Chain A
Amino acid sequence: MIAKLAWIQFLRQGARAWLNVAVTGLTLVTLIFMTSLLNGFQLQASKNLKSTDVGGGHYRLPDFDILSPTEWEDQTFSPPPFLKNLSDTEKAEVLVLQGQLFPNRRLYPVQLRGIDLKQKLLDLPLEPLSRQENGNEYIPVIIGTRMSERSRLQKGDSAVLRWRDRLGVIDARDAKVIEVADFLNPRVDEGVVWLSLDRLRIMTRREGEVSWVTVTHNLGSDKHLEFLEPATLMSDILNLLKQDRRNAKVLWAILLFLAGTSVYNSQILNVFKRQKEIGAMMAFGMESRTIIGLYTLEGTISGFGAIFFAFIFGVPFYYWFQSVGLDISHLSASTMPVRERIFLDFHFSEMLWITLIMLSVVIFSAWRPVQKIARLEPTVALRGKGL
């Protein structure tokens, strides 16, 4: 009976009630959109990082640190049999060393990355290198579009490449850019010069050595090597997104506050305008607790209505959005490993949490203003002078 009464009273509120539903529903749609967009961003960034660099994790020497280039030379190893025997689809051997490129006689410190050209684990556009593996006239290299822009080197250009071998002997030769490739991941683009692993090994007298081996998954521990999970290798991006999520919570709070305020405001108005009605209910013997419950339920209906509204409005909106995506090409110059468009990535548990949190805010906002009813005297309320 209470529920039916609450529903009738809710409908009697008219436009005010539907506005509440719309505001709260739009808030819910926006909250789910924001969260899913960040998920989508993270998904695409992780996917790009994994397909171009991280794979399913790296086996490295424990002291290897990609941020300490001066120590790379000391942190190479010969892969043990359990890594060596993996097929080309299960591993990618990478050797990273320091070098110096001199485009137009300007010094440009670079990371020389040699990769096994037969590998099929990572998706890197390095195929042209295998066509020129045997030439000795120059060192064939591939650079990324960002690197090309910074170093002003184009396809077909040559520049002197200087490096040191395992014993510290200085060597230099002409390197020719045989391709400018579009790498999705800036980590494998900026400041990186790609060449064949075999060639880099010969150049630096590091036969059979690697800096790391990318694998599909953890293959167990080795006493000399350390396995780094993808999450560890992507920790910088993940931490950045975590920070973004923290920042997004401010917007979350504002939106929830607005939704709560609209319900709160309606409830205050309800109690104020309907004092005589409350007085009559009391006079007929309804307990103030029941009346509070009735009014709270009335306010809460807008919360449920919002969920329904979000479903009706949100589903087509999300469906449309998934067909167009969000253009983030402006980020291509940044260090983010994402390009072009991102799409929403929905997580059911997150959506449920968002809905429950919003519903809690609405219930609280509906309940808090009607507490005054408990203090009302029926006779005073009947005269409309209780509040």
Chain B
Amino acid sequence: MMHRACNRKLYFNSKKMMTRLFFLAIIFVTSLSPVNAQESNIDAKLLLTQVDDNIWSNTKFIQGRLIIDNGRTVRTLSVDNWMEGVERSYSHYTAPARERGTKMLKADKKLWMYTPRADRTILIAGHLLRQSMMGSDLSYEDMSEDKRLSRVYDAKVEKMETLDGVLCAVLLLTSLEEDTNYQTRRLWVDPEKKIILKQYLYAKSGKLLKTVEFKDYFKTSGRLFPREMIYRDLLKENTKTTYSFDEIQFDVEIPPEYFSQSILKR
């Protein structure tokens, strides 16, 4: 009698277990298959081009602030930035007082910097462009670089991943050119809005060097643009640089003298 009752109990338990497993499998398959389907449906190269199309324009004007946090102190620099293509950019620092009037002109792979306190223009040649800009987590190169990622990198979708509640395609970018600073990047892209939410920058060896977070996208001139980009140099401790965009205009007409050395005067 006792034995029969035990067997019945076991029978019911195993049946219950099987039912549970069946439902779990259904949940697992239903939750994964759309993602997998979505992952296989995404054309990484096309998505990257669409991302570029959203964010990239021939000319750009940005009014923003660079908030440099070196772990001990926080400095805020206000800067107006005019960019044309990949090669030319002009920045004018408007605050704080000690940086006010500082101007930077990048043209022909050279950077000129004008400091009003010394009333002098200094040429920051080739390799100096790679140094940290004003103690931030960005190099002069990072700051003035505006390459179309789709032209420089080959992309493939690694996986789909949810980031801050948004289902993102994780794109692995491998450089097509031998001389690209970062040979590998990893992007978290919202395939719906064609925007980057996060970016990882890697060394040639594969070591993760920097992260960039793109925050609070807003609509401007029919495009989506982040209000903030937060750079973190992961080799340093507790540092971050926030590039906060207050105003942005695409395809603006920039007077030619903005990219001439004559602009570098008081």
Interface hub of A74, A100, A160, A168 (most chain B Cβ within 10 A): A168
A170 touches B126 (CB 8 A): no
| A171 / chain B contacts, CB cutoff of 8 Å | 203-205
A170 touches B181 (CB 8 A): yes
Given contacts A168-B179, A170-B182, contact A70 B236 (CB under 8 A): no
- State which size class the interface on A falls in: 20 to 34
B178: nearest residue on chain A (CB-CB)?
A167
Point out the residue from B131, B209, B237 that lies within 8 Å of A170, measured CB to CB: B209
| B130 / chain A contacts, CB cutoff of 8 Å | 164, 168
> What's the nearest-Cβ distance from chain A to residue B30, in Å?
42
B178 touches A172 (CB 8 A): no
- Scoring A residues 88 to 126 as 1 if CB is less than 8 Å from chain B, else 0, what string do you get? 000000000010101011110000000000000000000
A169 touches B128 (CB 8 A): no
Point out the residue from A73, A98, A105, A168 that lies within 8 Å of B236, measured CB to CB: A105
A70 touches B204 (CB 8 A): no
Given contacts A70-B128, A71-B127, A73-B127, contact A169 B183 (CB under 8 A): yes
Given contacts A70-B127, A70-B128, A168-B130, contact A173 B236 (CB under 8 A): no
CB within 8 Å of A: which B98-145 residues:
125-128, 130-132
Q: What CA separation (Å) do A49 and B178 show in the bound complex?
A: 40
| A104 / chain B contacts, CB cutoff of 8 Å | 237
Point out the residue from B180, B182, B207 that lies within 8 Å of A160, measured CB to CB: B207
Given contacts A102-B236, A164-B130, contact A172 B181 (CB under 8 A): no
A169 touches B235 (CB 8 A): no
A159: nearest residue on chain B (CB-CB)?
B235
Q: Is A209's beta carbon under 8 Å from chain B?
A: no
Q: What CA separation (Å) do A71 and B124 show in the bound complex?
A: 11
Q: Is A165's beta carbon under 8 Å from chain B?
A: yes
Q: Is A372's beta carbon under 8 Å from chain B?
A: no
A173 touches B179 (CB 8 A): no
A173 touches B237 (CB 8 A): no
A169 touches B179 (CB 8 A): yes
Interface hub of A74, A106, A170 (most chain B Cβ within 10 A): A170
